[in-house]
């Protein structure tokens, strides 16, 4: 639990502030780690944002006397300790509700799955900049999430020179215009982080089964990859999440060939050719309806998901969005690429954050194996 406290007059805020609006004093961040239940209520009436009942609203208090409400499906009594345990399971998925600070949500999502970078690692951040769109449209990755990831890497000792943001837009999209409109260029400038258009890089061929993939060497040469997709519905393949966002690591020619063949199977097998990566799923806004582009609608999920297993993360997104499992996930599971059953979820519970998203209109069925 966090509070932002004025050193001079002791006023407190539940969201980040730089200066006290009353006395102009400096602000200190106060963190609480020992939480206990000091009140609760049980809700039996469903609502559009809270369709699963009954659920409990706890009042949690930390060692500093700060309080915050928290939704849970579990039963607690007054005086009980409240703990969220992290997991070492490589398939675990963390779910964190964004309260007032995206940075804290991202930080917590990574702590819950026990991920931390090596200080000398060369790290590539792979957001979604497939189109030229403003952040509020939820088509591209929220720049606040990218900013938070870079801040965390810097705090954990990763030199700025070792951090690269890399992506390529869809054919016909002006990359300069897209970077400025999405505000991702401004984030890169703020932190002096290099941006690379993957379309301009060299590609290396990797063969898996009957497929040949042309993958950017920028992706293959890094020590760690952090995939930062927007969590969206997709009219063609069900959802756009962790797995779909890595498609743009391929040459444009290779991507076009995937769409002409069996895109579901190709998307699954691509992940046998890619190095392992971490995914931070951006659900700060998210998309529903006929996504993933201009025909979709913002969903306002206020969530961050994180996992080392992209299949598990996409599966959890489908479940919390109350959507059918994307068809490529079944293919990925058959190919032993990731986990679709018995997924360990840490942080917020799936049932507590479930929210019915509008499904995309059913497209012409795609071929499966």
Give the mean model confidence (pLDDT) for residues 349-358: 97
Q: What is the pLDDT of residue 261?
A: 85
pLDDT confidence bin for 330, thresholds 50/70/90: very high
Laid out side by side, the sheet with 12-13 consists of: 12-13, 2-6, 27-31
Q: What is the pLDDT of residue 366?
A: 53
Cβ distance 248 to 316 under 8 Å? no
Q: Which residue intervals of the chain are DSSP H helices?
A: 102-112, 143-155, 175-182, 184-191, 217-220, 242-245, 252-260, 263-273, 310-320, 327-334, 350-353
Q: What is the pLDDT of residue 368?
A: 47
| Cα 16 from Cα 33, distance rounded (Å) | 18
Per-residue pLDDT for 236 more than 50? yes
Averaged confidence pLDDT in the chain: 95
| Cα 114 from Cα 343, distance rounded (Å) | 16
Percent of the chain with pLDDT over 70: 98
Give the mean model confidence (pLDDT) for residues 302-320: 98
| Cα 254 from Cα 247, distance rounded (Å) | 9
pLDDT confidence bin for 260, thresholds 50/70/90: confident
Bridge partners for 48 per DSSP: none
Per-residue pLDDT for 369 more than 50? no
Per-residue pLDDT for 251 more than 50? yes
Cβ distance 248 to 166 under 8 Å? no
Q: What is the pLDDT of residue 360?
A: 93
Q: What is the pLDDT of residue 93?
A: 98
Q: What is the pLDDT of residues 62-115, one digit of tens each?
A: 999 999 999 999 999 999 999 999 999 999 999 999 988 999 999 999 999 999
Q: What is the pLDDT of residue 329?
A: 96
* Stretch among 227-236, 306-315, 329-338, 360-369 having the lowest mean pLDDT: 360-369
Match 């890089």 to its residue by tokens: 201
Q: Domain segments of the chain: what residues? A: 1-31, 34-83, 93-353
CATH of domain 93-353: 3.40.50
Q: What is the pLDDT of residue 287?
A: 98
Q: What is the pLDDT of residue 259?
A: 84
Q: What is the pLDDT of residue 363?
A: 56
Question: What sign has the CA pseudo-torsion 254, 259, 261, 262?
Answer: positive
């Amino acid at each position: 639990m966090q509070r932002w406290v004025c050193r001079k007059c002791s006023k407190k805020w539940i969201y980040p502030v730089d200066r006290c609006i009353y006395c102009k004093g400096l602000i200190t961040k106060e963190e609480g780690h020992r939480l206990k239940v000091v009140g609760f209520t049980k809700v039996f009436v469903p609502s559009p944002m809270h369709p699963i009942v009954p659920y409990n609203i706890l009042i949690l208090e930390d060692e500093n006397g700060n309080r915050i409400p928290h939704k849970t499906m579990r039963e607690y009594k007054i005086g009980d300790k409240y703990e969220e345990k992290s997991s070492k399971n490589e398939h675990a998925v963390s779910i964190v509700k964004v309260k007032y600070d995206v940075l804290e949500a991202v930080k917590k999502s990574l702590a819950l799955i026990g991920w931390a970078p090596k200080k000398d690692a060369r790290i590539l951040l792979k957001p979604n900049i497939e189109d030229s769109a403003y952040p509020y449209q939820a088509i591209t990755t929220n720049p606040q999430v990218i900013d938070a990831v870079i801040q965390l890497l810097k705090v954990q000792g990763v030199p700025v020179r070792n951090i690269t943001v890399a992506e390529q837009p869809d054919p016909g999209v002006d990359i300069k215009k897209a970077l400025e409109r999405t505000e991702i260029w401004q984030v890169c400038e703020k932190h002096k982080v290099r941006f690379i258009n993957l379309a301009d890089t060299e590609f290396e061929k990797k063969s898996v089964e009957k497929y040949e993939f042309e993958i950017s060497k920028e992706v293959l040469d890094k020590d760690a990859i952090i995939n930062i997709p927007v969590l969206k519905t997709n009219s063609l393949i069900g959802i756009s999440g962790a797995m779909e966002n890595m498609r743009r690591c391929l040459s444009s020619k290779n991507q076009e060939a995937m769409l002409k063949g069996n895109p579901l199977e190709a998307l699954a097998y691509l992940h046998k050719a890619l190095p392992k990566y971490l995914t931070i799923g951006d659900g700060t806004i998210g998309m529903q309806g006929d996504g993933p582009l201009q025909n979709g609608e913002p969903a306002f999920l206020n969530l961050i998901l994180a996992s080392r297993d992209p299949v598990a993360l996409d599966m959890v997104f489908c479940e919390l969005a109350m959507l059918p499992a994307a068809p490529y996930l079944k293919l990925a599971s058959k190919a032993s690429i990731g986990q679709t059953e018995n997924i360990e979820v840490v942080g917020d519970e799936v049932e507590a954050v479930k929210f019915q998203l509008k499904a995309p209109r059913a497209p012409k069925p795609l071929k499966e194996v």
